[in-house]
Structure 1
Amino acid sequence: MSSARRRGRPRLGPTVDNRERILTTAREMFSESGFERTTMRAIGRRAGVDPALIHHYFGTKNDLLVAALRPEVDVSTVFAGIAEADTSVGCEFVHRVVDLWESDPQQRARAVALLRIAVTHEEIADRLREFFLGVATGVLGQFVHADQLERRVALVMSQMLGLVLARYVMRVPGIAEASAAELSRWVGPTIDNYLFGEQ
């Protein structure tokens, strides 16, 4: 019998959720050692799986990083009924985004780590940009004026990314300690202007 490794799809363990094990291990190791010093081989060794299985599920290390650190958000639930709120769409959007970041410290830490890495890694920045643009378009697309739609959504995303970076990464005084309601009153009108304002 040949001892050569069989080619094709890596064998899955019969009782273990290998994908979740890989994601959990990747989060731990990216947090402990950073992105550059963490290898797919090391993740596979700690997770007890063949590194080929990681490539099968996630592709490259960049893909694995995004999958491991990107927050798990049910956008339809978080932003349901946004137009029926007592405040403007912009104010309600800001309030819900901040509430989302505040509600789950573990997921917030993962998202902040991903933002930090995206600043210096172009491919990861591309993936993250696609995610945030997709969320903004999905939530606000029905409210945006048709003229300059793509630019309007991009400006909303840039405003919210700036707010998140100032609050959770740079810890800017006046923003870091503000409540969701306070931030929505200050930033919401700017979002409304991006969505509906005359250009």
Structure 2
Amino acid sequence: MTPQQRSGRGRGRPRTAETGSDNRESILGAARELFSDRGFERSTMREIGRRAGVDPALIHHYFGTKDALLVAALRPEIDVVEMFAGITADTESPGTEFLRRILGFWESNPQQRTRAIALLRVAVTHAEVAGGLREFFLGVARTALADVMAADHREERIGLMISQIAGLVMARYVLDVPAVAGATPEELAQRVGPNIDRYLTGDMTVDSWHS
């Protein structure tokens, strides 16, 4: 009987996989440190595995690719249901309240904001990272505003909202556009929120946007 047979472990299975969530969290922590210290391109799976104390094969076992690992490591940790609780169809300007809470979260959680900015920067040139970030934003919008959004053209409405929010975050925190970076979160919420309201419930026919 071979050592692999005695241990019940197949040849292709990482030898540390049985330790479960502890290894996964160690990998995520090591990835965050290396991505922060060296940047995405200069960080290797081997180095991440060495810092986490695991076989690099285990990283592929849990996450598949380095792009997917980046998304898992840097995606902001948000309890969407709790964060947007109370936003309903009866809320005066739900778009304004939605933005108020998003901007409040970024401003009061600099570590989470840094993660999101890092993802935005890499997503520009990495399709898999862009896809993971896109699904994150879409999931937030669908969960937070599902009860507020009109029933028609829902995907178009969500897409327009995401373009507005992602552009606002990019302008404020990455491009440092003066008028956006220098405004208070409340000012931005009040100015941009009505656009979100229109995406949520407005007439989506093309002619209506020229009125």
Answer yes or no: same fold by TM over 0.5. yes
Structure 1 residues 49 and 162, CA gap change in structure 2 (3 angstroms):
same
The secondary structure found in structure 2 opposite 1:82 is coil
Please point out which of 48, 61, 73 is paired with 1:68.
73
Asked if 1:32 is matched to 2:32, the reply is no
Q: How does 1:18-29 map to 2 (within 5 A)?
A: 18-29=23-34
- The whole-number CA distance in structure 1 between the counterparts of 2:85 and 2:102 is 12
Name 1:178's counterpart in structure 2.
Answer: 183
Task: Note the C-alpha offset of 1:24.
Answer: 1.1
Query: In the alignment, residue 174 of structure 1 is paired with which amino acid?
Result: A
Q: How does 1:20-99 map to 2 (within 5 A)?
A: 20-83=25-88, 87-99=92-104
Check whether the contact 1:152–1:195 (CA below 8 A) recurs between aligned residues.
yes
Larger Rg: 2
Check whether the contact 1:145–1:195 (CA below 8 A) recurs between aligned residues.
yes
Query: In the alignment, residue 36 of structure 1 is paired with which amino acid?
Result: E
Q: Which moved more, 1:171-180 or 1:65-74?
A: 171-180
Query: In the alignment, residue 176 of structure 1 is paired with which amino acid?
Result: A
Q: How does 1:1-199 map to 2 (within 5 A)?
A: 7=11, 8-12=13-17, 17-83=22-88, 87-199=92-204
Structure 1 residues 15 and 151, CA gap change in structure 2 (3 angstroms):
closer
Check whether the contact 1:79–1:96 (CA below 8 A) recurs between aligned residues.
yes
Query: In the alignment, residue 67 of structure 2 is paired with which amino acid?
Result: N
The secondary structure found in structure 2 opposite 1:174 is helix
Name 2:209's counterpart in structure 1.
Answer: none
- The whole-number CA distance in structure 2 between the counterparts of 1:23 and 1:95 is 30
The secondary structure found in structure 1 opposite 2:37 is helix
Q: Deviations over 1:32-61 (max 9, x none)?
A: 222222111111112211111111221211
- The whole-number CA distance in structure 2 between the counterparts of 1:24 and 1:46 is 9
* Structure 2 residues without counterparts, runs of 5 or longer: 205-211
- The whole-number CA distance in structure 2 between the counterparts of 1:20 and 1:128 is 20
Check whether the contact 2:49–2:59 (CA below 8 A) recurs between aligned residues.
yes
Q: How large is the Cα RMSD of the aligned pairs?
A: 2.2
Task: Note the C-alpha offset of 1:177.
Answer: 2.4
Task: Note the C-alpha offset of 1:83.
Answer: 2.3
Query: In the alignment, residue 99 of structure 1 is paired with which amino acid?
Result: G
Task: Note the C-alpha offset of 1:92.
Answer: 0.2
Task: Note the C-alpha offset of 1:3.
Answer: 7.6
Check whether the contact 1:90–1:190 (CA below 8 A) recurs between aligned residues.
yes
* Structure 1 residues without counterparts, runs of 5 or longer: none
Q: Deviations over 1:99-140 (max 9, x none)?
A: 111121011101100100001111111111111111111111
Q: Deviations over 1:156-183 (max 9, x none)?
A: 0100000000111011112112222111
Query: In the alignment, residue 81 of structure 2 is paired with which amino acid?
Result: S
Check whether the contact 1:90–1:191 (CA below 8 A) recurs between aligned residues.
yes
Check whether the contact 2:32–2:73 (CA below 8 A) recurs between aligned residues.
yes
Superposition TM-score, scaled by structure 1 size: 0.91
Q: How many pairs does the alignment contain?
A: 199
Task: Note the C-alpha offset of 1:23.
Answer: 0.8
